[in-house]
Structure 1
């Protein structure tokens, strides 16, 4: 792709929120039992997950997440589904509160970049969604925070997998200009951080 082509660099930060009276389980009691990533935006071996020592942050790092107008129409949209099974003591539930996007965008006039995020718990009703669009012309760092309107909680006493669905899309519109939207870094520095805040049940 030509050097002048628009590009968008993103960091997704998801915050798991609960009520103000939230009490967290001991950090060493929260662990990842299972982690998987699948989709056109996260080829095998390109995505990693980790839990913080205090059990309050789940980090997902992407190594190859790019949508571009340079290829076929299918290349303009990439998606990834991350499934995480957490082990933690009984008596706690969580929900995702906000998603923060941080990064850098370079979009020519007429080109738009869109990132969508949604989550749900396996076997439970409810899916929470947010979406953010950046319109060209844009060439700067950015940070956006969006709140999930609907509250989707895990179920008390039953540990179900947390599923994170994301989508990255580039749309040249009628301009016919090139563009690239990417969540990608050689050092996996671009991340999706879920702040785990727990509620007793």
Structure 2
């Protein structure tokens, strides 16, 4: 076999291996992204109430809250609840990531004139920049909800190091100038307020 033909064959074989492993598409191989550490704190997530999971293909991070409620019946302080989550992702070297969107599922009961807000933000430890996404629901509303929003900006990880992903969620209920009631809380079907973050990978 001529040298040029052999080189071409080797390059083709290498490309085939990269494609089969997912590297050509800029994403780590399936099953190679895991959660190496998970901590949380805040008045919206008391101990034992929050957990995280990453999909087998590494494309989605799910955070589930079982005791997350903001309500006008809980005093002024109870109208706002928040939770800060720190996630350490383990993945192969040679990749950076950012969060592309967030899908939020929960339940809202809002009288006319009452507004409910769910806001999510994230940043990568040691890297400048915070990305935010927000959804506002106006009363009257009495139903489970599910919506997907993109982040207003991009906050990416670094290629040279693996740092913690820090996510802050906030749920608010605002009665405005009315004395009417409202709450934003866990989904009535699975008893969880759930946020699913899409992970966008890039080879570096």
TM-score, structure 1 normalization: 0.82
> Unaligned stretches of 5+ in structure 1?
1-20
Which deviations, in whole Å up to 9, do the C-alpha atoms of 1:149-176 show, x marking residues without a partner? Answer: 2111111121010011010011111111
CA distance in 1, matches of 2:70, 2:134: 16
Q: Give the strand-richer structure, 1 or 2.
A: 1
TM-score, structure 2 normalization: 0.81
After TM superposition, which residue ranges in structure 1, 4 or more long, deviate above 6 angstroms?
none
> Unaligned stretches of 5+ in structure 2?
1-23
Q: Residue 81 of structure 2 corresponds to which residue in structure 1?
A: 78
| Higher relative contact order, chain-length normalized (CA < 8 Å, sep 6+) | 1
C-alpha RMSD of the superposition = 1.9
Q: Residue 13 of structure 1 corresponds to which residue in structure 2?
A: none
Given the superposition, is the C-alpha separation of residues 187 and 138 from structure 1 closer, same or farther in structure 2, using an over 3 Å criterion?
A: closer
Given the superposition, is the C-alpha separation of residues 41 and 163 from structure 1 closer, same or farther in structure 2, using an over 3 Å criterion?
A: same
Find the residue that maps to 1:75 and give its secondary structure.
helix
Q: Report the CA distance between 1:189 and its aligned residue.
A: 4.5
Q: Give the helix-richer structure, 1 or 2.
A: 2
**Radius of gyration: which is bigger?**
2
Which deviates further from its counterpart, 172-181 or 79-88? 172-181
Q: Kindly tell me the number of residue pairs found equivalent between the two proteins.
A: 181
CA distance in 2, matches of 1:62, 1:104: 12
Q: Note the 1:150-161 alignment, pairs <5 A.
A: 150-161=153-164
